[in-house]
Chains A and B, each alone.
Chain A
């Protein structure tokens, strides 16, 4: 799930406090509390000290401390329904870039430019001030303390722009240890719960682990030793987290990396493998099948493209010549600083809808020959905003808007350019969570909606009535679709399980039960990216087309399921086998990994499939330049 951003509110710090409440603070100088059910900013309080660079909650989660541009540290009390300004601590010159609470909540260590300070909470005074570049020759450059951690032993760990990780005894103000890990800045730092391991992230994209190890076997003397380096990122590592079993890092290269600590793992399995997340697990592309158009959603604009076409036919692996080039039809810029939540194009290609945090827009697209005109539909009904998912019905005469509190609005689209609120579907028992996935059937009879509590409600669209609920499963739904012929609902969960639910029968189908009995292939279950889209082949009702970021799969229900001994990715080996042997090796999963990373795949008609690929290099070029390093041998 994603909380869409806001152009004017860059988030600099995030922290959890008072249980499950998430707070963020940013350069706008405000502190936000997020509504995790509604996926939006719930409250906003001005910090009053200029841009906020850092924020941390105390051990009990009752207080928030923020470090501001003007050098002040402010304490906020976390109260039910908001936060309340408590008081200012000692203010000195220089922005507070990082701060950390002592585990006993009596002191705060803050890092600024050239200096780190320790503040006493009860008196609010600075009790220690340490110059971090005290014995460095190159004093001309300022030394920025990027990150700080306060250990229970009274050791303050800092990481700075000189590439050092330093350990200070704050009471004496002395440097205990200094490790130069990099020639460029060390940006982030995280300590494990047991305080025996530290992970730091540098601006070269490398992360390093430090461990507190005994110097000799059995002796009490311990020392911090730099142990493992990891190079998973190409750009600055801005944030690191040290969980009990893994190191999690994220950076400017838009990747989230989970690196498990092998020595903490009991057995090999899903958790013991390195995970890399590059893309949001959401659908950002929608497809108008009949009009052969694609709508791409960007953070602040939409692009509508008409697909090219070909008349040639060819063999496997051949690139066909295009008789019509793909055409960029229009670009829609959203107004205001808010990011787009969701967007959709109707199957006939004449309607485009999108929604931001506060507004819903519906457009009518007219195609007159080669020119395209667009007209905003006036007087859209006032809905409960924001909408989390938009879905046009198969015949393009109605629009489903997934909204907060489990409700789905049904809008009727009118020619030549109007709309009318028809009905609001709500689960019978009510729900606090927003609906984030929708699927409508091809015959316009059924609608499936998934809410934040992961329950799937099925509505009958003919009578606007709640039809049934799919039995609860303990994982998030990542994709779902209704079969155009059998009206079976196919559901993909985040643990890679697949279910097929018959809507008319209100129960799992026999095939789904076999899948559950036999279990899916181990390799399938160990994939790390969720299925983001499901579609069907109308020609062959037993085919289900699924894809995630790394692969595209045709699931043939008529073929036997592979067992763990069989090779899951067997397409290339199958090609080499003779016809007779091939029959024996066949199994239900036909996987294609040719297109990576795959954003979207859909079947246009029975012999045309559209794939949307976004090469990683494409947006790497848009990122700020990484630190250039001479690599040996290049």
Chain B
């Protein structure tokens, strides 16, 4: 049985095999952490905020009443510890639930349930040189009276004899140079695991300082560590949204990852034209190619090609800009070291190698600009030849530069072409902030602070300028297809402007604080996301009419940083008038919390089909390779699902018929004669035929309904699943609720493959 608690004050009991909520207990407080003990079935422990005081929390035990009915009230609360920390890592229950230990800042509290005794210990105040020695996490030995605590200065203390107020004692283990993020004891308690910013899992043997093993290079900082109850596996949760499963002998076993959460997404959302994958910052210094269809990382491209040092407070080179050429043949990246006075910049151009199916570094340009590069774009002209490819970079050093490919004259060079600077343009010594090409590639628009300049891309003449004072230009883009005569710009003074390029006049403007302006590459629609009074709103419009065709107010509470239109494989048939703009491509958003969201055209009613029923069917399938496959390809089309379902059904019949199984499993030399067996075998087939037809009908029916429902429900179901299995899903959960309360579906793309749960 599985309990889950949520911020809205309810505890849910789940059947985690089937994914059905069994009971809901309403507590009526915000629940920040939940602990259940093996010994006491009828009560759980939760952390709630103390009433009347801000930022003080207490640990209370909640009695769960045994009564019939789905929704119950749990009002019997008894306070156990006062002034605890809200983090779930800061409380641990000791051997057989005899005591509970909690840490906060520099204090450790231990409460013994039987003796009703509370002991408090504290580490001595901060010493200047050793830094902050506050507690960060706690774990209790499963067999002995020993508490392990992690500290902000990287030390681990092992407390013993803590039932004496005075004669307690502790020993110290020190390897981490930065905060110990989490610690966990092995099942037998003979070893201890710890992890932190260093991305190294440390295994301490016998509580000894000298015997330790390491599992280094886990990619990013370790946030949580957990041991499986049988002790065979351990999993670590990382800050970049990844779970790593590690064997008990510290061998890396498996990693579960979807979209990697990077420290800061600077590249924005870029769509790889070749794979239709989303491209953005991944691991530090890497570019991740994230497939939206399979919710998997296709690959990670090391751009910076330097060892990343896992240490807080270091200024390391990071990837800031990415651009693809039209067919995805060329990739341009900019990396920089964040330094105020003297930034270290590098522009790299990568060529897609068909043989190795990956990008190969072609040209590296050191210091392409004197100052930070603000924008970069390729002239993506579909029909034109390769040598017309042009890259434009805009920099804060008041110029934009045009880079072209040139034949390499050096006979020793391994490649035939390389990139070099062709033209440098500037305008009144203003900082260049944005650049973009028109659809046919004939015009280049570059914004210089308050002004947009339009240049001829053949002669590099300044054609005309636009401005909408006051306010600096934030985004610019050209209209497409029928609207290609328009240039759209947004200013940081809160205006969205549309200029007519033919008349060189302002066509229309709207007073909107637009953060993100994103044109759909396949249609004339342009999506703009505004930020007003702490909520984001979406406007979709065509440049030729000043009235938006679609408005979605209160899209989400977070700031939306980037958006991208991902072309659909096939145009979707959309009946609703207002979703027509989503026919060719799908719109994705990335918020500043690094949540990826999309807009769906399906309404709420359609999605609210009995999900549990469907799930039951799915989950009752035996664990076969097919069903695993099924789990992996949930989002594939329903036709495929049905096929698989049939296969599975066949499979099940074969296994469930006793006669056939006996026949197949009995050694040949003890079998009766074939003539004797034949009728039985044929009989069994006859029976199974009957069965099958009956069940198949049922299956068909279910699959039928499934087909109508689209793959979205399945996503929904799996998200519900995730709610209770992963602590990391807290953020996703809130989004999910938000979207349910509204008309439109709005969701986060997450790792959906939960078949790994079955492995436990």
A residues near B, CB below 8 A? 163, 179-183, 209, 211, 213-217, 225-229, 263, 632-633
Contact = CB atoms under 8 A, between A and B. Distances in A.
A209 B167 CA distance: 14
Contacts of A182: 210
B168 interface: yes
B210 to A, nearest CB: 4
B210 A214 contact: no
Contact of B144 (A209, A215, A228, A263): A215
Contacts of A225: 160, 169, 171, 207
A582 B107 CA distance: 42
Given A225-B171, A227-B160, A633-B177, A180 B210 contact: yes
B145 A214 contact: yes
B704 to A, nearest CB: 61
Given A215-B145, A225-B160, A263-B168, 6 more contacts: A180-B211, A211-B161, A217-B98, A225-B171, A263-B167, A632-B177
Contacts of B374: none
Contacts of A214: 145, 161
Interface in B174-206: 177, 206
B498 to A, nearest CB: 58
Nearest to B154: A632
6 contacts: A179-B208, A215-B143, A217-B98, A225-B160, A227-B160, A263-B164
B108 to A, nearest CB: 16
B92 to A, nearest CB: 16
B427 interface: no
Nearest to B206: A179
Contacts of A211: 160-161, 169
B170 interface: yes
A26 B281 CA distance: 70
Interface string B129-154: 00000000000000111000000000
A183 B210 contact: yes
B145 A217 contact: yes
B168 A228 contact: no
Contacts of A217: 98, 112, 145, 163
B26 interface: no
B370 interface: no
Nearest to A221: B144
Interface residues of B, number: 24
Of all A-B residue pairs in the complex, the 9 with the closest CB atoms, nearest first, are: A180-B210, A227-B169, A263-B167, A227-B171, A215-B144, A263-B166, A213-B160, A213-B161, A217-B163
B248 interface: no
Contacts of B112: 217
B209 interface: yes
Contacts of B177: 632-633
B210 A216 contact: no
A209 B210 CA distance: 15
B484 interface: no
Interface in B93-145: 95, 98, 112, 143-145
B363 interface: no
B134 to A, nearest CB: 20
B210 A163 contact: yes
Query: Which of B95, B169, B172, B177 gathers the greatest number of chain A CB atoms within 10 Å?
Result: B169
Given A227-B169, A632-B177, A633-B177, A181 B210 contact: yes
B132 to A, nearest CB: 16
A345 to B, nearest CB: 44
B171 A229 contact: yes
Contacts of A227: 160, 169-171
Query: Which of A163, A182, A217 gathers the greatest number of chain B CB atoms within 10 Å?
Result: A217
A334 B591 CA distance: 84
A263 B166 CA distance: 5
A227 B172 CA distance: 7
Contacts of B172: 228-229
A216 B144 contact: yes
Contacts of B160: 211, 213, 225, 227
Nearest to B177: A632
A181 B211 CA distance: 9
A183 B210 CA distance: 8
Contact of A228 (B163, B167, B169): B169
B145 A216 contact: yes
B748 to A, nearest CB: 40
A228 B170 CA distance: 6
A181 B145 CA distance: 22
Query: Which of A180, A214, A227 gathers the greatest number of chain B CB atoms within 10 Å?
Result: A227
Query: Which of A182, A225, A228 gathers the greatest number of chain B CB atoms within 10 Å?
Result: A225
Contacts of A229: 171-172, 209
Given A213-B161, A217-B98, A181 B167 contact: no
B178 to A, nearest CB: 11
A213 B145 CA distance: 10
Contacts of B171: 225-229
Contacts of B209: 181, 226, 229
A179 B172 CA distance: 14
Query: Which of B112, B160, B168, B172 gathers the greatest number of chain A CB atoms within 10 Å?
Result: B160
A229 B177 CA distance: 18
Contacts of A632: 177
Nearest to B112: A217
A228 B158 CA distance: 10
Query: Which of A211, A216, A229 gathers the greatest number of chain B CB atoms within 10 Å?
Result: A216
A214 B98 CA distance: 16
A314 B172 CA distance: 52
Contacts of B161: 211, 213-214
Nearest to B175: A632
B158 to A, nearest CB: 8
B208 A226 contact: yes
Nearest to A223: B144
A209 B95 CA distance: 25
Contacts of A179: 206, 208
B68 to A, nearest CB: 40
Nearest to A177: B206
Query: Which of B171, B206, B207 gathers the greatest number of chain A CB atoms within 10 Å?
Result: B171
Nearest to B163: A217
A174 to B, nearest CB: 18
A83 to B, nearest CB: 41
Nearest to A215: B144
Interface string B205-219: 011111100000000
Nearest to B168: A263
A263 B210 contact: no
B72 to A, nearest CB: 36
A181 B177 CA distance: 20
Nearest to A164: B210
A181 B169 CA distance: 17
A37 to B, nearest CB: 41
B129 to A, nearest CB: 11
B208 A180 contact: yes
Contact of A213 (B143, B166, B169, B208): B169
B123 to A, nearest CB: 13
A226 B205 CA distance: 13
A163 B210 CA distance: 10
Contacts of A216: 95, 144-145
Nearest to B210: A180
Interface in B589-641: none
Nearest to A632: B177
A305 to B, nearest CB: 38
Nearest to A196: B167
